[in-house]
Amino acid sequence: MLRQGGELQSISWEDAEQMMAERLGAAGDYYLFTGSPGASMSGLMSDFAGSTGGQVVRYDPLAEAPLREASRITFGRDVVPWYDLEEADFLVSFGADFLESWLSPVRDGRGFARMSGVGEGGAKGRFAFVGSRLSLTGQNADEWLPIQPGSEALVALAMANVLSGGGGSAGPYRDIVAAYTPENVASVTGVEAESIRELAERFGEGPSLALGPGVAGLHRGATAANVAVAILNWVSGNVGTTVHYDAPQLEAPSSGFGPMEQAITAMSGGQVGAALVHGSNPVYALPASSGFREAFSSVDFKVSFASAMDETAAVADLILPDRHFLEAWGDATSRPGQWAVRQPAMRPVPHFDSKQTGDVLLSVATQMGQDLGSATFYDYLRTRWADLATTAGAADADAFWHESLRTGVAQVGVTPSGSAESLRQPDRGLVFDPPAFDGAGDLHLMVYPSSRYGDGALNANRPWLQELPDPVSKIAWHSWVEIHPDRAEAMGIRNGDVVVLSTEHGSVEAPVWTYPGIREDVIALAMGSGHTDAGRFADGNGVNALDLLPSEAEALSGGLVHFVTKVDVQATGERRALAS
């Protein structure tokens, strides 16, 4: 559809592709914004942008950029490691919500079920949650250590101190670990020294695993916190057994906010002639303070490949609806050597007149005089899988392809496992003390991914998802503010009271839900609500928690910070019945 006179009008695919080719040819520099499109689609986007003068920028609100940077600092591997929960007897999460929204909940849920199940001898794994708020993951823990906001690194280093004999086996981090004894960090973390020491001793008794702070704990010291957790896993002998850097997660979202920040500056400065958006909704999924909406709106030619309306498509000049994943070809690679192919499960629904984005890019490239080697995305995919067949040593590429279609997966080479890793001397300045929070007072705002729809950027307009009760609060359809009951009583508010949350960056209104599984100096608000142009089931339901956050990248990793500000809470005098 083409926007003319402020209204969207129908346009043929032939005319739309011709227009796109002409406008990109005249645009000069342009950006292609995307999320996690899959291996071959990602390759095609890079080929297309590289041959036509564009630049690909990947952005995911739930990206684990600090974890990736911490892996590079500690072991020289710029990857997101692979975690094997099933092999652990004792698990400590420093806030990572691995059963809900962190990295791979399906894999980790299966591993956790096997770890925590009762074995033949009657033994079972144990799980401790170290964080300021009990998520659904935390509620499955055997014990909870409610630490001061942002103090994960101190607890992890103190545990490493106990297990390494004061830092003796911590390699280049010996002096750092030696400085953080349980007694030194107890007052700052809010956890007694004896509790930290006892937790460390149990952690060191057998196969164990420590997980970092996760997305909800992405504060200004998130990379240092992940480094501290990596050190703890190292001194406990977990690297190569329950955590693997040699066989990492290849398509885990881990791109930082830095490239997006640069793109916003370039668009605002009039340096960009066109902008394409696929598999992402940055107008919604970035804080309003980022200025993305204004910068994107100022670009002369804006194209969205959204298969359904969203906030970014609502300001685009041309909308070329992508096919639903059940109608389209695609592939993915989760670990080195492991590939999966996705084939259409149904014919395209003619009513929607959609077209796979890969086919559009190849057609536009041809009209711009660029030969990317394939006429359709299916052909492009087959060519890449023929190369995989060669790598796998298959004598017949067609037979390899058909077997992959039958099973859905393919093993290409050997997946590394258990190779030795060595701690490296850090090449970045690391500060392990709790980070500063914006604002006054003592109430820290935790913005966390929804267990129902994650960041909600692309999937909130689904009535069955909206009416699905949150597993912790049992609330559906709208946002709520989590406050500890004692703090709520001291403030004179109760369940259902509508309050205004204000930070230095914005304000929202939402009803209160008192929750004993949160510290008294923390309040929490879930992502995913507050849409304005996503459809009738999402629009107007709840608030967008990102509007309360700054547009700031963590210094070391470039990740967008979420746990970064304090908040003022004021009752409005109004009440709202909680939908549950």
Whether residue 67 contacts residue 229, with contact meaning beta carbons closer than 8 Å, is answered with no
pLDDT bucket at 368, cuts 50 / 70 / 90: very high
CATH number of the domain to which 218 belongs = 3.40.228.10
**Which long-range contacts does 142-149 make (Cβ < 8 Å, 24+ apart)?**
144/517, 145/191, 145/195, 145/199, 146/190, 146/519, 147/189, 147/190, 147/191, 148/188, 148/189, 148/190, 148/434, 148/519, 148/521, 149/219, 149/434, 149/437, 149/444, 149/446, 149/519, 149/521, 149/522, 149/563
Verify that 267 and 388 share a domain, yes or no.
Answer: yes
Residue of 358 and 118 predicted with greater confidence: 358
Report pLDDT digits (tens) over 480-497: 999 999 999 999 999 999
pLDDT class of 505 with cuts at 50, 70, 90? very high
Q: Could you tell me if residue 55 is inside a domain?
A: yes
Beta strands in 18-59 (DSSP E): 30-34, 54-58
Closest-CA residue to 575 (of 531, 523, 513, 532): 513
Evaluate if residue 418 carries a pLDDT over 70: no
pLDDT band at 244 (very low <50, low <70, confident <90, very high): very high
Residue 413: predicted pLDDT: 81
Residues 450 and 511 in one domain: yes
Question: What confidence tens digit (pLDDT) does each residue in 246-293 have?
Answer: 989 988 888 889 899 999 999 999 999 999 999 999 999 999 999 999
E strands, 238-372, where? Answer: 243-249, 274-278, 301-304, 318-319, 330-335, 338-342
Claim to verify: residue 50 and residue 103 sit in the same structural domain? no
Mention every residue, 6+ apart, whose C-beta is less than 8 A from residue 207: 87, 88, 89, 90, 238, 241, 242
| Residue at a domain's end among 190, 220, 249 | 249
Cα 279 from chain centre: 14
Q: Is 417 part of any domain?
A: no
Average pLDDT value over all residues in the chain: 94
Q: Is residue 580 part of a domain?
A: no
Give the per-residue pLDDT at 121: 79
Report in angstroms the alpha-carbon separations of 267 from 23, 30, 224, 272, 362. 16, 9, 32, 5, 25
Look at residue 126 and tell me if it is in a domain: yes
Q: pLDDT at position 394, please?
A: 92
pLDDT at 188: 96
Does some domain include residue 428? no
As a whole number of angstroms, the distance between CA 60 and CA 527 comes to 13
Q: Which of 199, 232, 249 is the last residue of a domain?
A: 249
Beta-sheet pairing, 522-526 with 444-448: parallel
**What confidence score (pLDDT) does residue 167 get?**
80
- On whether residue 423 sits in a domain, the answer given is no
Q: For 104-141, what is the HEC assignment?
A: CHHHHHHHHHHHHCCCCCCCCCEEEEECCECCHHHHCC
Q: Cβ(53)–Cβ(28) under 8 Å?
A: yes
> Same domain, yes or no, for 159 and 268?
no
The answer on 78 and 203 residing in a single domain is yes
- For the segment 525-530, the average pLDDT, to the nearest whole number, is 96
C-alpha pair distances (Å), 297 with each of 268, 270, 275? 9, 11, 10
User: Domain check: are 84 and 231 in the same one?
Assistant: yes
pLDDT recorded at residue 285: 95
Q: Do 260 and 343 fall within a single domain?
A: yes
pLDDT, tens digit, 9 for 90 and up, residues 305-358: 999 999 999 999 999 999 999 999 999 999 999 999 999 999 999 888 999 999
Same domain, 323 and 235: no
Domain check: are 375 and 389 in the same one? yes
**Which residue range forms the structural domain that includes residue 471?**
444-575
Determine the average pLDDT of the residues in 427-452: 94
Position 111 confidence tier, pLDDT thresholds 50, 70, 90: very high
- Here the CATH number for the domain that contains residue 297 is 3.40.50.740
**CATH code for position 458:** 2.40.40.20
- Average confidence (pLDDT) over 517-537: 96
pLDDT confidence bin for 535, thresholds 50/70/90:
very high
- Determine what percent of the chain is predicted with pLDDT higher than 70: 99
- pLDDT at residue number 86: 94
Calculate mean pLDDT across residues 363-368: 97
pLDDT at position 5: 87
Domains of the chain: total: 3
pLDDT tens digits, 170-205: 899 999 999 999 999 999 999 999 999 999 999 999
- Residue 544 binned pLDDT confidence (cut-offs 50, 70, 90): very high
Query: Considering 249, 279, 302, which residue would you say is the last residue of a domain?
Result: 249
pLDDT band at 22 (very low <50, low <70, confident <90, very high): very high
